[in-house]
Amino acid sequence: MGIIDRIKGRIQDRLNDPAFMGLVQEQSLKDLLTRREFRITEEYLQREFMKKALDDELVEFNLTVGDGYGELSGRLKKRLVPFAIPFSVSFTIEGLEFSAARKCVFLKLGPVAPLDLEWLTRKVVERIPFMSLSGEMLVCDLNRVPRLAELFAQRVKGISIWDYITLKELWLKRGEIGGRVGVVL
């Protein structure tokens, strides 16, 4: 069996992997391969993460992505208060770390409107399992995002391909989060 046959076999194995195919269907594979760019739509994030965070306390939860910023908004219902408390908080990308040991995006939170209550902020952040809060810095651990964790766990002959790929840029544009990946040699 030649090297071309082996490559074809591995590609065919990936095409049969539902996690890989789900990821490919959500974004443009051509952009990822040719320009090394990816885009994640606001609708995808709303469907995959925001809708799953709803329960009897968090009755509404939305994400809006604008040019250079994102905004989380919703309503939180507490037992002692007869109405749901509305909230809104904006965030910007402060930095990122994408190494073999850690894959995190750091977001800087703006003030929470209409009231900046720490318990409200913590309650909202706790609803998203891959997020943590440290002061005004929100840390998104990409290794804990369900679909990305599956992708990062893939190994070829004991080697993780993600040890050689880095996230070079990340940006917020109207309706989407985009980024550019690079190769580390």
Residue 92 pLDDT > 90, yes or no? Answer: yes
Q: Which residue has the higher pLDDT, 114 or 174?
A: 174
Alpha helices in the chain (DSSP H): 3-15, 18-26, 29-34, 42-45, 118-126, 146-153
What is the model's pLDDT at position 26? 46
What is the model's pLDDT at position 28? 53
The arithmetic mean of pLDDT across residues 92-110, rounded, is 88
What is the model's pLDDT at position 33? 59
Q: Which residues of 49-85 are buried (b: 16+ CB within 10 A; e: fewer)?
A: bbeeeeeeebeebebebeeeebebbbebeeeeeeeee
The arithmetic mean of pLDDT across residues 107-127, rounded, is 73
What is the model's pLDDT at position 73? 86
Kindly report, residue by residue over 118-133, the tens digit of the pLDDT. 666 776 777 777 888 8
What is the model's pLDDT at position 86? 84
Whole-model pTM: value is 0.71
